[in-house]
Structure formats: C-alpha cells, structure tokens
Amino acid sequence: MATRKGRAVQKWEPPEDATLTAVIKSLVEEHGWASMSDADWRLVSARMPGRSTKQCRERYFNVLDPTIVRSPWRADELDVLFRAHNDLGNSWQEIANASAHF
C-alpha cells in the first residue's frame, strides 16, 4: 500500500463510490439539503468507514458530482481558455473566474 506523509493511501473502489452515492442520496432526503454545498460532510463521513470528511467531500465534488461535464472541450471553449491563459498566465483561479460560463 502506498503512503503519503506517513499515512496509508487507499484508492477509492467502485463499491465505495456506490456506497457514498447512496449515503449522500439518503442524507439529502433526510435533511433536505438544497445543494451539496449545504451538506454536513461530517454526517456523510460518519457513514463511510475508513474515510474522512475531506475525502468524502472531495470524492463527491471531483468525481461523483452529476453536474461534472465530461464531454470533450468545444473549439470556442478552448479559444476562451487559451486567450485567458495568454492574458492572465498561470493564474488559474482568475482564468476560472473569467470563463465562468463553462
């Protein structure tokens, strides 16, 4: 098992993703969260043995969130990105703000 800063790093497995998704769905129904930004991630992680609050939150927002657009970039989107990078350099937060319409 790989380690990071002296701690074991455990990869997420598909059954864990399914469990996390089911836990989130259950808690949304139970607590009526309007969006996952309103979620109490401590409640989520309490139902995910071996996973921290931060791990659950990041896994949802970076991988499992159904609003993530996974299609290839369109030519006009790439044009906006390249122009913003040319104007702003590697200031990715500013680039994200400038191209918030994606």
pLDDT-above-90 percentage for the chain: 69
- Mean pLDDT value of segment 10-36: 94
Q: pLDDT tens-digit profile of 51-101?
A: 999 999 999 999 999 999 899 999 998 998 999 999 999 999 988 887 765
Per the prediction, the chain carries an average pLDDT of 89
State the Cα torsion 12-13-17-19 to the nearest 10°. -110
d(CA 56, CA 28): 15
The domain segmentation of the chain, as residue ranges, is 3-64, 69-102
| Alpha-helix runs per DSSP H in the chain | 14-31, 41-46, 53-59, 75-88, 92-98
Q: pLDDT tens-digit profile of 38-55?
A: 899 999 999 999 999 999
**CB within 8 Å of 99: residues ≥ 6 apart:** 77, 80, 81, 84
* 2: pLDDT strictly greater than 70: no
Residue-level pLDDT at 7 = 61
Q: How sure is the predictor about 4, in pLDDT bands with cuts at 50, 70 and 90? A: low
Contact criterion met (CB below 8 Å) for 45 and 55: yes
In order of 33, 78, 94, 98, the CA distances from 91 in angstroms are 33, 16, 5, 11
